[in-house]
Each structure stands twice: as structure tokens, then as C-alpha cells.
Structure 1
């Protein structure tokens, strides 16, 4: 049976330095006290509030990615009352900083079946943490299938990769993970896609399993998946302690962030990855991940490499790679910011540059993405407060920023 995995323990209030140390000129594009949604009508909105299908304070944005004038935003079903787990906000000018989330692909797909019921077809979304927009105008969604995660976890459907055509908003495929892909503590909170724009049908997706300590590889062409295991996927017991936004907590999340470098002459890439509870960064060539046979070959152990140490308090959730500068961007949860590392240099703490830091506005930088125009997008959401305490609805709790990559790395070791 699939079990939810998200490890958390006792929290304590700690002191916090409120001095703003923003190193980059970030543009605050969106800022919400609570998320709102683009309801079909006021009547539907009021009914959702009345029935508890929409509890404003329970809707926390977590993941993002951009496609043209749409900025996709995910809202995992941590608690009851999430209106829609996948949606977008418009980037058409003028931008409304408190824009309502438009459910994607539509409202129907985001509505949970009634108790005991099952979805009517494959075009549905249960609970999403992160998404990935590929170069072939497709949206890849990792649907956990799990609702009310922090309350009474309910498995609506097995974990699945859901793929949409962004030009038509039509479902391309829903691929449900096989039983052998899953462990008892499996939990899938991320997805990255390895594809060439001239070979769209030959895409591969890589999905870290933060609870079961593995990586699932999926071939679109073969419509098949396989699982890798490795010691590097496990958390570091010495670095699972976090102090973020005035909350102290301990997590045991394993392999989490994953980003792909540029393709080599054979079309393969370097996949950079790290456990969330760790200070190290690792890598493996995607020639390994694409090889189903290699998944069960013990000799591939040495194909996985330790890149180096990022530095103290450098625990990272998400990462993103900028090919032009050869730089890997890394969220810095314990530093209220984002750092970068030029992969042409050895990975040492001295070669990791903190490019954005703000203990007021960048509390828990949960996700980052780099779009086709080389904008770095950053989402911060105060998630520790959301999980362990309560957020103040009178304060801005969720923010999305953007900044040009060239600007944010200027004068740093990543330039």
C-alpha cells in the first residue's frame, strides 16, 4: 500500500535577523496574503466556502514554471479545502500582483471525486508539487494522487505522470507508476524532462523519490518506467536540521532537486541532484538514467559522482540549470535565498555564490525555474509556518519574483 512520506518533528521558535540583505534586484511579480481562484461564478465560490471545499488559508503555492504568457502555479493538497491543485496566472501586461489562479486544464479536472469515488477518466489532477514545461510545448505534471496530506491522508489514485499539450490544453497521456516503481515510503515531489526539440517523441522524465530514496526514469516513446537506487539518494543525518522563518524543524527528505546540464555530442546530459537534507551535490550522466537495463546493474554504482560540498546551511529544495553561463542555481532554505555554482569550476563553498537573500521576502524559497528568455523565477511561501504553525492572513505570505540570469550572476563566481 502506498504510504505518505513527509518527515517532520517538534518545532520551536527561534530568533531571526530581520536585516534585509538582498543581493539581487528582484522584481516582485506576484504577492498574496491568501490565494484566490478564478471561480466560474460567485455562486460556485460561495458554495465552496460553505461546504469547506475551499478554505483560503489551506491553499499554499509551491511549484511554478512558465510557458509564454502563462505562469503555472501548483497548490498541493496539504490540507482540505484546496480549490485547485494546478493552475496558472496571466503574465499579460498590466500584471495583477494578486491575480487569481486559473485552474488548468479546467475546473472539472481539478475537482476531487466525492468520498469513495474515483475519477471518471484520465484527465484529472489530484495533488501536484512541481511541474515542468518542455521545449516541445508540453506541460509535465507529477500527480501524487494524495489528498489531505497533513490531515487524514487519502489516496485518490496512484502516483502518475500527466502530460498536456500546451497549444491545445488537451491531455496527451496519463502514465501511472508501476508497483515496482514504488516503495512503502515513496513520495514524488518533483519532475524534470530530458528532450531535444527535434525529437519530441523521445523524451525522458526523471522523478526523484524523496521518501523511498530512488529516481524513477520514464520513457515517453516506450511508455515504460524503471527505478534506480543509490546511496547518494539518501539524506545526510548530520544535516537534517532547519531554522527557517522562525521555525526549527528536522526533515529526512532524500533525493529532491534535479537539474539537467547541456546535451553533449551524443545527446546525453549531466543530471545534477541532491537530497534536500544534505550539503552535497551529486551527478550522473543521463545515458545511465535512460538505460532500463542499467537500473538493475550493481556496477553502475560508480557512474554516480560526488560533485562537492555547497557549504554550511546550504540545504536545497529546487535547482535549475542555465546553459549559457553553465551555472546551476540552487535554493538556499536556511539562508532565505538562492545561490549559483558555475559547473566549470570545482564545487567548493568558495565557488558557490549567494545571489539573492532576504529574510523577510524569501522565507523558504520552495521552487525556482529559468524560462526561455533566461528569467530566473523564484517562489517563496513560508511553508514551515504553514505546516507547523499558522500563517497570518493579514501579511503577505506567498511571493513570486523574477530577475534576469545575467543580472543576478553579474560580479559573482558564476559569471
Structure 2
């Protein structure tokens, strides 16, 4: 095929995906404060510094949009926020509400959220929230809480269904960074979590049924020196980041696979979920290197039809790969490239109406202390794809997700089985 024919062919492929449109766009992130006096006091004390607030993750449930704002620097009063999923009165830079409350944002209080980078919402409307347990800023590093998983019920007044603190051998209190999460409805409910720990990176596996966790480690999950440095919008980024983006093949697939990549890597990897669930110490034979990407990737997402979406940071682009039909080496293709709107595609999400969303946050400016709050910095862009996320079957229906026992503490299946005997002994 001649070069011009190949270019025309590739252009045709790209154009078959509906273009992204900007739906939300912020110069700076502000909040619905309890009062204007509270806001002014926070600014005066340095508890709110607009340039230090940025968005990493957005998820959707019904008419609401939930956003995470990790506390990488001082002056981030809210680490988990909420707003309408659609602009109201044409306002595309809405103020965020603290979610679920302002009390749940208090620094140094281990019952409140300290640093939330990501979360996921299951098919029942339960939000699985990753709390690293400490801000990464210097002034606020006194907060010393355990990394944990908190599950809230969006359908029942945001009731806490489960709080689980990861043990030290799974997520280190001083160095863990809970980055991203995907959910598996099988085997009593499972979560797979990337821990971008600077010294002990890996994929954490959490069992909802057993309320237990473990970590899988492998060299493929570590940053690679060749990919540590890159350019975004003429800004140099040098930052070794271990395993980051993660995706799970859709609910209808057999032999489900986890897909992952360190941010500092050009390679995409996969591993079957059974190897993770069985807590195998040596997973060399199960890890598969699928091929090389043209750039580093932050977040990724899987559709219910088996299409993997991922960002290409140094290319200001979003790419996709149909995991069911073609090998990654020849099947990956760019669906959107915009050197303004898609600077640092950080994360992705699907809503209930068949829309596909991407958070772009120009993170290269934040990392280099170059955020200009007089220009747009954070965007949510949207494309119509008419499918749902990986938790659903291809026809749009949802599998049965395991039930929860309400409350931060719960009765294990073993203890539940022993309750009748315990009751008889007490009576006697």
C-alpha cells in the first residue's frame, strides 16, 4: 500500500469515532463552601490554594458526577467532590460539593478521606473509594492513616457499607499510593487496585466476600528508565511512576484478563484474573506483554464490548484497541488528537446514557509549578459510543453483584455460621 493510501485509510478509521466535545472546563476548582467566611478563612490560612486543586478521576451515577482531587500539595480542602452530570444554566465550570460531607474531608482525621485519587461505582450504585491515608504535601504529611477502601451506598443516603484498612504487608502506610481500581462481580466480589508505591509497587487484590487482601508484584509493574522522561506541550516531565492504569475485560468474557501499564512504560501487559485471585507468588508464566505503545499512558478503561481505551501522554491523544478481534500490535489506533484539549488524558468513564468521558488536566503544568488559573486547565470531554463499561454485559444488562452487609464492620461468613452455636452457649 502506498503511503498516501495508508494515510487516507488511517484517517478514515479515526473519523469513524465520534469527535469529543468539551462539556466541562475549569480555570480553577472552587467549592460550595458552608459560607463565604469559611472560604475566606481557608484562603487566609492557606487551606485553600486554587492552583493546587486538580481533577484526576470522574465517575457517573444517574444525574450526578463524582470527582477526585488528590492532595499532592497544600491547600486542597476537598479530595472527593460532586456536581451535576450536566451543566446547569450553561455553567461549564461548576463549584463542587464536598462528598459526602465537609466532615469527611478533614485532614488528620483517619475516619475522613485524606487523599482520594480514584474510585469506582458498581452496578448497584455502590462507590468504592481508595484513600491513600496521607497527603503527599510536606506541610500536611503529619496525617498518618492507613491506606483503606471505603464503600458507600449512593442509593441509601451514602451509607458506609464497608471500611477496610489494608495491612502493612499489602499497602505500606508511609509509601503506598492507591491509584486506580476495577471491580469484578465474580467469586463473591473482587477489586483490583494499582498501588503506585515508590518502593513496593504492585496490584492489590481485595476480596469482598472474605474481607481480605493481598498484593501481586512483578517486574512488568515497575517503571522503565527509557520511559521516565517525555514532553507534553513543550513541557518536560521527568517522573518515574510505577503501575498506574488498569482495566478489566468485560463481564461477558471468559478467562477474564487484567490489563495494566506503568505510567513510565511504553508497554501494555495482561494477566488472567485467576492468577491474581489465587495469590500466586510467581506469575511470570501468566504475564503477557501485548506490545508497545507510541507513548506513556496514565489511565485506561474497558467497554462492555471489549474495547480498551487509553491515553498517549506525549502525543496529546486518546487511543483504542478492540481486544476481541485484533492483536494489540496492529489493532491499536488513535481516535482523537488535540494539542490543546487533550493535554494529559488522565482517566476515563462511561455514563448510563452511552457516553464516554475523558478527564484531561494538563498535569505537566502542575508538576512543573506552572498552573495559570487565568486559562482553562481542567476539562471533561465526551464522545457518544452507545455502550456501557466493563461491568455490564454486551447487551447492556448487568450481572448480579454480591450483597453487602451494612456497616463499617461486618460479620464474616464463618462467624455467621457459628452464631447459632454461640447463641445456644450464651443461653445455657
Instruction: Please classify the TM superposition score into its range, dividing by the shorter chain length.
Output: 0.7 to 0.9
**Residue 322 (structure 1) aligns with:** 303
Which residue does 1:142 correspond to in 2?
Answer: 130
Whether the aligned pair in 2 keeps the contact of 1:24 and 1:356 (CA below 8 Å) is no
Normalised to the residue count of structure 2, the TM-score between the two structures is 0.81
Q: Name the stretch that deviates more: 364-373 or 393-402.
A: 364-373
User: 1:355 deviation in Å?
Assistant: 0.8
| 1:138 Cα offset (Å) | 0.7
In the TM superposition, residue 213 of structure 1 has moved relative to its aligned partner by 2.3
For 2:8, the equivalent position in structure 1 comes to none
The whole-number CA distance in structure 2 between the counterparts of 1:372 and 1:302 is 38
**Inter-CA distance 76–265: structure 2 relative to 1 (3 Å threshold):** closer
In the TM superposition, what is the alpha-carbon distance from 1:371 to its structure 2 partner?
A: 2.7
Q: After the TM superposition, which parts of structure 1 deviate over 6 Å for at least 4 consecutive aligned residues?
A: none
Q: CA RMSD in A?
A: 2.2
Equivalents in 1 of 2:267, 2:60: separation in Å?
Answer: 28
CA contact (8 A) 1:331 1:368 kept: no
SS at 2:180's partner residue? coil
> Any conservation in 1 of the 2:356–2:383 contact (CA below 8 Å)?
yes
User: Residues of 2 paired with 1:389 and 1:158: CA distance?
Assistant: 29
Which residue of structure 2 lines up, in the alignment, with residue 190 of structure 1?
180
Alignment partner, residue 50 of structure 2: 56
Please name the residue that 1:41 is paired with: 35
**In structure 1, distance between residues paired with 2:85 and 2:79:** 19
1:378 to 355, 358, 365: 358
- Shift in Å at residue 248 of structure 1? 0.9
Contact 1:245 1:364 in 2 (8 A): no
CA distance in 1, matches of 2:219, 2:87: 48
Any conservation in 2 of the 1:88–1:104 contact (CA below 8 Å)? yes
Structure 1 Cα separation of the partners of residues 137 and 149 of structure 2: 19
- Residues 19-72 of structure 1: per-residue CA shift (max 9 Å, x gap): xx9985222111111101011122222222222211111111111111111111
Equivalent in the alignment of 1:173:
162
1:241-264 alpha-carbon deviations (Å, 9 max, x no partner):
210122112222121111111235
CA distance in 1, matches of 2:85, 2:352: 14
Query: Relative to structure 1, is the Cα distance of residues 242 and 93 closer, same or farther in structure 2, using a 3 angstrom cutoff?
Result: closer
**Is the 1:245–1:385 Cα contact (8 Å) retained in structure 2?**
no
- Contact 2:179–2:196 at 8 Å: present in 1 too? yes
| Residues 1:406 and 1:308: Cα distance change in structure 2 (over 3 Å) | farther
Cα offset, 1:236, TM superposition: 2.1
Give the secondary structure class of the aligned counterpart of 2:33. Answer: coil
Give the corresponding residue for 2:285.
Answer: 302
CA offsets 1:218-241 (integer angstroms, 9 cap, x no match): 011111101111122122222222
Q: 1:249 aligns with which of 234, 237, 240?
A: 237
Aligned pairs, how many? 368
TM-score (norm 1): 0.83
Partner residue of 1:208? 194
Match of 2:368 among 388, 394, 412: 388
Which has the greater radius of gyration? Answer: 2
Q: Distance in 2 between matches of 1:261 and 1:127?
A: 28
In structure 1, what is the Cα distance between the partners aligned to 2:308 and 2:82? Answer: 26
Write the mapping of 1:264-413 to structure 2, written as runs, cut at 5 A.
269-291=256-278, 294-296=279-281, 298=282, 300-310=283-293, 312=294, 314-324=295-305, 326-405=306-385
Do the aligned residues in 2 keep the contact of 1:327 with 1:343 (CA within 8 Å)?
yes
Secondary structure at the aligned position of 2:48 is classed as coil
The answer (yes or no) to whether the contact 1:234–1:254 under 8 Å persists in 2 is yes
Deviation at 1:301, TM superposition (A): 2.3
